A and B are shown apart, each in its own frame.
Chain A
Amino acid sequence: MTDPDSLFASKDVPSALMRQTLLDRDRVRPQTPQPVSRLLPWLNVVTIGGRSIMDRGRDAILPLVDELRDALTDHKMLIATGAGIRARHVFGVALDLGLPTGVLASLASTEAEQNGHMIAALLAEQGVSYLPHTSVGHQLAGHLAASPAAVSNGFPPYELFEFPPEVGKIPPHRTDTGAFLIADAYGAAQTIYVKDVDGVYTQDPATAAEGEAELLPRVGAGELLDMNLATLPIDRLVLELMRNAKHVKEIQVVNGLVRGNVTKALAGEHVGTLIQAQ
């Protein structure tokens, strides 16, 4: 048998990273780091909450869809939908059966997808369709050249490859995180989270005593994590990931139950809570 080492050199493709483990911090650091391009600098990523909006049904969804329809003339959008109550149900079933986090992630992702199909159906007449992950990842530019918006599953395609979470078994990469990651990858202009509260509060406004919960108009992602609030209107993982954001240095959480908020946020107005990477 030939000594494998004698063949090694001839089996390499020359590159700056050749033969590296890609784990040596000093060697992997680019000699002349290039700025990361914004692939779709005009893109707006609008996330529609599952429990906060979709589960409320017609009264919450139709006015919001009307607003989005009107916005199609001025804005290119990727509309990402959340999962909601059916995901909670399937989590309950799967957890009871002892199934792992990766299975829970796959099951919940299906629910976010169904919500996406419904939003896309409501905007079909305007040329909006639902795109599966593979199209969002590879053909979004083409779809948005043909149509002002597309709808996608907010969950990222982690599914069976979901991380085991730090605490418990609920999948950590959900709609908010998926929307953030795709927005950063495409270098989106704006990332807007449409929820059922006016923004981030110092306490959960649904359970706090009258007047106790205070709205934060503007807050740093790290600062918000440090506040260690019992609940948040946005997934904690988004706040953690914002630290390494290349493009998405600011996101806005807005109340989609208040008519006009989404339109204003798309126009760049401050109508909810702005969360900023430091």
Chain B
Amino acid sequence: MADREDVGALQSLLISRSLTDLELLEASNSAPDYAILPDASVVKIGGQSLIDRGRAAVYPIVEELVEAKREHPLMIGTGAGTRARHLYALAAELGLPTGVLTDIGSAVAGQNAAILGHLMARHGVPVVGGTGFGAIALYLDQCGAAIFGGMPPYDMWQHLPAEGVIPPYRTDAGCWLVAEVYGCRSMIFVKDEDGLHTANPKTDPDATIIESITVDELIAMDLPDLIIERPLLELMRHARHATTVQVVNGLKPGLLTRALAGEHVGTIISAA
């Protein structure tokens, strides 16, 4: 915990200085970090990688999630997938801005959350969104899990990409930010590959798996393609809670369960 002197200094800077003041920003580092839901885990279920594959991929992962929630409180975020790609391509062609793409992409992640929600309804798992996060503790306590659409709620206020109009912060970032703000014990990305590779293994046969890596190393490698959103790496550098994430293959039964138990079964990316 920060000592009282630090806290006093911070309070006085907060009242007297501009929020752009570097001394104030440094001083806010002295504040302690309280984890809101330290026992919960965030699991992101990929859109294109899992849900778009339908029953063959989704039923087994639902079974695994239902079993896992007995032991681990789960916040299950969903990706968007192929319909979002169609929307992005169409909207870009129409000259629409990133904010509009964010909004319509978000709806697709929401559909996928609704789909998972219907499949998990008999196990008492609700779908939450927006203000529903206010009751997340109750859902986790009573139902063991809750599902949310993974897109962050940036809508028309999304950051602008350097090139083109595709929203830079999408469902990987959205799910990770949930893990970070709630101080969750783990963040697991469930995709359709064994982990992060040196190139996209779907298009490059020479791609090899990277079992563990730091974000700085990964940024330095400047890979042409990635299994998680690039801007998430930059966010992870400043993580206070969600300092590691694991990418696992959801098409291989059991890996998600083992990752939740703390085993290294895919690629672990760590902040430092």
Given contacts A95-B31, A100-B180, A100-B183, contact A18 B85 (CB under 8 A): yes
Contacts of B93 in A (CB 8 A): 34
Interchain CA distance A33-B92 in the complex, whole Å: 8
Q: Is A85 an interface position by the 8 A CB rule?
A: yes
Residue of A whose beta carbon sits closest to that of B60: A1
Q: Which of A37, A88, A99, A233 contacts B97 (CB 8 A)?
A: A37
Q: Is B33 an interface position by the 8 A CB rule?
A: yes
Q: Which of B24, B57, B133 contacts A170 (CB 8 A)?
A: B24
Q: Which of B15, B52, B86, B180 contacts A85 (CB 8 A)?
A: B15
Contact A136 B156 (CB under 8 A): yes
Contact B241 A100 (CB under 8 A): yes
Q: Is B32 an interface position by the 8 A CB rule?
A: yes
Size of B's binding interface in residues, CB under 8 A = 88
Interface positions, chain A 1-37, Cβ under 8 Å from B, are 1-4, 7-8, 11-30, 33-37
Interface of A is mostly: loop
Interchain CA distance A14-B137 in the complex, whole Å: 40
Contacts of B161 in A (CB 8 A): 244
Interface positions, chain A 170-203, Cβ under 8 Å from B, are 170, 173-174, 178, 181-182, 184-187
Contacts of B53 in A (CB 8 A): 4, 7-8, 11
Contacts of B85 in A (CB 8 A): 13, 15, 17-20, 22
Contacts of B174 in A (CB 8 A): 161
Given contacts A103-B181, A137-B155, A163-B235, contact A168 B224 (CB under 8 A): no
Contact B225 A168 (CB under 8 A): no
Interchain CA distance A18-B84 in the complex, whole Å: 9
Contact B96 A36 (CB under 8 A): yes
Interchain CA distance A29-B85 in the complex, whole Å: 13
Interchain CA distance A170-B36 in the complex, whole Å: 18
Contacts of B57 in A (CB 8 A): 4
Residue of A whose beta carbon sits closest to that of B19: A170
Contact B26 A168 (CB under 8 A): yes
Q: Is A227 an interface position by the 8 A CB rule?
A: no
Residue of B whose beta carbon sits closest to that of A12: B82
Interchain CA distance A88-B13 in the complex, whole Å: 9
* A residues whose Cβ falls under 8 Å from a Cβ of B: 1-4, 7-8, 11-30, 33-37, 39, 51, 85, 88-89, 91-92, 95-103, 133-134, 136-138, 156-170, 173-174, 178, 181-182, 184-187, 204, 230-236, 241, 243-246
Q: 14 interchain pairs (CB within 8 A)?
A: A2-B56, A15-B88, A17-B88, A22-B170, A34-B92, A92-B11, A100-B240, A101-B181, A168-B24, A182-B99, A185-B97, A233-B18, A244-B161, A245-B160
